[in-house]
Each structure stands twice: as structure tokens, then as C-alpha cells.
Amino acid sequence: MYAPSPHQCMVIIDGQTYAYQTVPGADVSISGVFRNQYDFLIGKGGSGGYIQPGVSNTVDGYLIYEVPTPVVNEKTYVVCNLDQKTQAVWRLG
């Protein structure tokens, strides 16, 4: 199974689209939670990566977006175009 490229995901706030942006290092701490950036886990530069299907096989990490403040959660969505026919959408609020 291929994990999507981070460039397949975007944040949409009140109709405005924000693209994924990488930061210089693999390790990131946000609100005291330390993780790797997602693209460093699956292949630097945003290429998708292969993961073996199974309960314990996952890929997690931060996707980083620069957005204006304040963010209204009810108007904020994360959209991932997984392939030509499949799109995942999460509303933050």
C-alpha cells in the first residue's frame, strides 16, 4: 500500500487553499509533542512511500501548513486527494 505524498494534502479555510510546506529538519516539536515530519518518514521531498498493510504498520508525522490566524475550526478542512477517484476530508471543528 502506498502512503500519499504530503503534497496530495491541503488545508482549506473558508474557501482559501493552503499547500503543505516542509521545514528544514526531520524532527519537529509542536505544543511539546515531538514527532518527525511526515515527508521525512515516507521519502524526503514529498514522494509517496510504500508501507506493508497490517495493524501495526502505520505512518504518522506532522503535516505543516502556514495559515492566517485566527483559524475558525468549523471553517477549516484538511483534504487529501488519495488518487484520481478517492478524496479524504476532515473538518477540524
Domain assignments of the chain as residue spans, ordered by start: 2-91
pLDDT tens digits for 51-72? 666 666 666 666 777 888 888 8
CB atoms within 10 A of CB 30: 9
pLDDT for residue 9: 87
**Nine-digit cell at 68?**
492566517
**Whole-number pLDDT of residue 32:** 74
Closest CA to 19 of 32, 6, 31, 30: 6
d(CA 47, CA 23): 16
Does residue 76 surpass a pLDDT of 90? yes
CA distance 66 to 54: 33
Q: What is the DSSP letter of 5?
A: P
pLDDT digits (tens, 9 = 90+) for 2-57: 677 778 889 999 999 998 877 666 666 667 776 666 655 555 544 455 566 666 66
Q: What does pTM read for this prediction?
A: 0.66
